[in-house]
Structure 1
Amino acid sequence: MTDLVTRYLQLGLRLGRVEEGLVDVYFGPPELAEAVAAEPAPTAGRLAVQAAELLADLPDGWLRDQVSGVRAYTGVLAGERLTFAEEVAACYGVRTEFTDESVFATAHEQLSELLPGSGPLGDRFRAWRTSQVLEPDRVEALARAAIELGRAWTERLVELPPGEGVELALVRDVAWSGFNEYQGDLRGLTSINLDHPRTALDTLHLVLHETYPGHQAERVLKDHLLVRGQADLAETLVLVPTPQSLISEGLAELALDLVVDGPGGAEFTAALGVDVRHALAVERAIQPLRWADVNAAIMRSDEGRSDDEIRAYVRRWGLLDEEQAEHVLRFMSAPGNRTYLAVYPAGRELCRGYVNGDLARFRRLLTDQVRVSDLDDPR
């Protein structure tokens, strides 16, 4: 492990002490984590200085991109003022703009054609979703089957290392919807919150995003090929406010399209015993509405709009119910999540444009240290 990588890992672990949740994954040398935990409590200002010092010593490349994100984020934590777009660009390497509401209006029109009837579109959409909700035992059965079929799909694309695997946990009384915790040693734990009503398509989206060919596949492949294969310990750390997270969320968001809506998707869903063709059409129609949450975050951050205005905005344009709108508001209110809302739609669009139906490119996202600037490279 080089001195530069050691400094990066120390920097990231210290960032996790400043704000909980910013270290998404760490499975590197335990003695390094223990040493950082024993240090005096760090400050955001001091970490911003350390990040700037490390940047000065790093050549252009993937690691420098990650440290640039840490420098930007620690600066914000230390009191530097950036607009929403400036912070997204500095942390994740992409620029976001306020999406014209005509985009949402067009999506509403398309959705209205898919969900005909009387009454406001939002009411019709929410009633349709409610009619599709599965019982918890059906969610569990579908999730377990989807994990195995998703693993088989991924294995046909790229060989997974021996001994890898993921456990499924069904939980309640937690604030989040679901996530995959990579535990090192090629193992993961995917948790699904059964308190959240889920349709068949919701369940497939979550499972494929979190497991195969999404987060679990990416982590085990990079652990196997980069950490173990090339002794690149920088990959043992995944930090939230970095380009690494943008690409990780982007490729995971592509999983549903590639597996369920791609070639062989009908056979995949038939094996699961579900028919999600109409739900997929609805999902495609509402994709642009993901940017309504980003608009709301921009309004809150840059314009100082009230919480009531934010709730009303995402309910109107995002077609969210009261509980969903409250969840979006809580999410964007957490300092670590202020700009993370943009990562999902921005990462999805970038990775989708890069892959463009070429599974070899998707395989590269799963196995290589891809930079955001690489996503514009046609090679």
Structure 2
Amino acid sequence: MTARPLDVPLEYVRLGLRFDRLESGFVDAYTGDRRIRAEVEDEPAPTPQGLRDRARELLGELAAAELPADRAEFLHGQLTGLECSARKMSGEPVAFLDEVASYFQVELTLGDPAAYAAAHAELDALLPGTGSLTERYAAHRRREECPPDRLADAVQALSSALRDRVRGEYGLPEAETVRYEVVTDKPWSGFNYYEGDYRSRVAINADLPHRLGQLPHLVAHESYPGHHTEHCRKEQGLVERAARLEHTVFLVNTPECLMAEGLADLGVQASIGEGWGPWAAEVLADLGLRFDGHLAERVAAAVAPLNRVRQDAAVLLHDRGADADEVAAYIQRWSLVSADRARQQLRFLTHPLWRAYITTYVEGFDLLSTWLDARPAGQPVADRFVRLLDEPLTPAAVTRELQAV
């Protein structure tokens, strides 16, 4: 009698839930059957070696599962990332660059200081005046700071305006909703906790000031058309309609993270596009909160190449052996930020769970923005971007599409 093929999607979900028992927060979201999670919680405590071996076993069973090609490719990437995480948890030596490649399907190189210097020169022209560029940039950022007691109001106003845009452009389930809360003592600026049934809780970290010109990106990233929108559309499409169980769990340090963060960082471009600065200034002006939207948009474009500095910092820390003080100085020099902000970035880069995660923002944005720009002539941005919201694309699949252009 021939044994039935293993239900790889179900076993992948169980495996992901077991990782969360070893590292709380490894499961970013779970919207599946509560009985599955309860069964996993009742199992004997997992070991990193056991999780590693199970990931390898499931990788070996994928071919026999006879899944559609896109489904098999998605699971292969996810399981490869999990296998590497288990090896790291067990104390096996894994080189940082190999770790990143296993998690996110990208190869890292250090950024070009010449590109950073060019960004500095462009910013210097946009912010004339006395004092060093670092001082003038800091003064610009201070002028844009949102008063702490108005942060919640500003976030709500931008969320409502973006939600209207996204509903019209992409469509959302009728019942979807996002609630916001302001928190402190976190290594990130914002976090989406997707609760299932089209509901999200978004935490905004008030440890460092938020700028009015940055808030549209934060809200678009976490909610509309970023993480919340993606979760809603995939829950409705891939889970409810297509019965793809693997999309009931979202796991840290896997290829889907690079896709999710890349698309979320494209949120303003995909919902507002050129002119987002004046658009946001008009929304916030109704609250009596004023900033120069035209300048904010030009400054954001000028400093965009400096986003890669954060990834350089991770490589210097974890691959090149630099110490924290050296890396903090590197961040301050090229990102033109304060010592406090550089140290906040180091918190994220040295967190055991998040140390490689910065790559999802840097490489995710670069990969997906290049892919979005490579759309066929005449195709609207929305027609391309909606594929990121709805399809189980992987970094490797997107790279192949770009190579075929």
TM-score, structure 2 length as denominator?
0.88
Supply the RMSD in Å over aligned alpha carbons.
Answer: 1.9
- Does residue 1:295 correspond to 2:312, yes or no? yes
- Does residue 1:214 correspond to 2:237, yes or no? no
1:338: how far off?
Answer: 1.7
The whole-number CA distance in structure 1 between the counterparts of 2:386 and 2:35 is 33
The whole-number CA distance in structure 1 between the counterparts of 2:99 and 2:305 is 22
1:359: how far off?
Answer: 1.8
Q: Could you list the per-position Cα deviations for residues 267-326 of structure 1 after superposition, in whole angstroms to 9, with x for gaps in the alignment?
A: 565344354221111111111112112112111112221111111111111212111111
* Structure-1 residue corresponding to 2:371: 354
1:264: how far off?
Answer: 7.5
Q: Could you list the per-position Cα deviations for residues 319-376 of structure 1 after superposition, in whole angstroms to 9, with x for gaps in the alignment?
A: 1211111111111111211211111011011111111263211011011111212323
* Pair 1:45–1:190, CA change in 2 (3 A): same
1:70: how far off?
Answer: 0.8
The whole-number CA distance in structure 2 between the counterparts of 1:301 and 1:232 is 36
* Pair 1:194–1:22, CA change in 2 (3 A): same
Q: Could you list the per-position Cα deviations for residues 232-252 of structure 1 after superposition, in whole angstroms to 9, with x for gaps in the alignment?
A: 121111111111010000000
* Pair 1:264–1:106, CA change in 2 (3 A): closer
- Does residue 1:73 correspond to 2:85, yes or no? yes
* Pair 1:328–1:271, CA change in 2 (3 A): closer
Check whether the contact 1:260–1:269 (CA below 8 A) recurs between aligned residues. Answer: no
* Structure-1 residue corresponding to 2:76: 64
- Does residue 1:270 correspond to 2:293, yes or no? no
The whole-number CA distance in structure 2 between the counterparts of 1:346 and 1:47 is 28
1:161: how far off?
Answer: 1.2
SS at match of 2:319: helix
Q: How do residues 14-53 of structure 1 correspond to structure 2 at under 5 angstroms? A: 14-53=18-57
Q: Name structure 2 gaps, 5 residues minimum.
A: 1-5, 64-71, 374-379
Check whether the contact 1:259–1:268 (CA below 8 A) recurs between aligned residues. Answer: no
Q: Name structure 1 gaps, 5 residues minimum.
A: none
| Percent of residue pairs identical | 35
Letter in structure 2 aligned against 1:77: M
* Structure-2 residue corresponding to 1:192: 204
1:176: how far off?
Answer: 3.8
Check whether the contact 2:28–2:251 (CA below 8 A) recurs between aligned residues. Answer: yes
* Pair 1:248–1:5, CA change in 2 (3 A): same
- Does residue 1:374 correspond to 2:397, yes or no? yes
Check whether the contact 1:260–1:266 (CA below 8 A) recurs between aligned residues. Answer: no
1:174: how far off?
Answer: 4.7
The whole-number CA distance in structure 1 between the counterparts of 2:275 and 2:346 is 37
* Structure-1 residue corresponding to 2:353: 336
The whole-number CA distance in structure 2 between the counterparts of 1:156 and 1:262 is 18
* Structure-1 residue corresponding to 2:3: none
Letter in structure 1 aligned against 2:21: R
* Pair 1:148–1:353, CA change in 2 (3 A): same
Length, aligned pairs only:
378
* Pair 1:269–1:359, CA change in 2 (3 A): farther
Q: How do residues 1-379 of structure 1 correspond to structure 2 at under 5 angstroms? A: 3-59=7-63, 60-172=72-184, 174-262=186-274, 266-267=278-279, 269-273=281-285, 275-356=292-373, 358-376=381-399, 377=401
Q: Could you list the per-position Cα deviations for residues 180-204 of structure 1 after superposition, in whole angstroms to 9, with x for gaps in the alignment?
A: 1111111111122334311112211
Check whether the contact 1:149–1:268 (CA below 8 A) recurs between aligned residues. Answer: no
SS at match of 1:213: coil
The whole-number CA distance in structure 1 between the counterparts of 2:215 and 2:257 is 22
1:265: how far off?
Answer: 6.9
* Pair 1:224–1:87, CA change in 2 (3 A): same
Check whether the contact 2:279–2:293 (CA below 8 A) recurs between aligned residues. Answer: no
1:156: how far off?
Answer: 1.9
Check whether the contact 2:278–2:293 (CA below 8 A) recurs between aligned residues. Answer: no
* Pair 1:172–1:293, CA change in 2 (3 A): closer
TM-score, structure 1 length as denominator?
0.94
The whole-number CA distance in structure 1 between the counterparts of 2:206 and 2:343 is 18
Between 62-71 and 165-174, the greater mean CA deviation after superposition: 165-174
SS at match of 1:201: coil
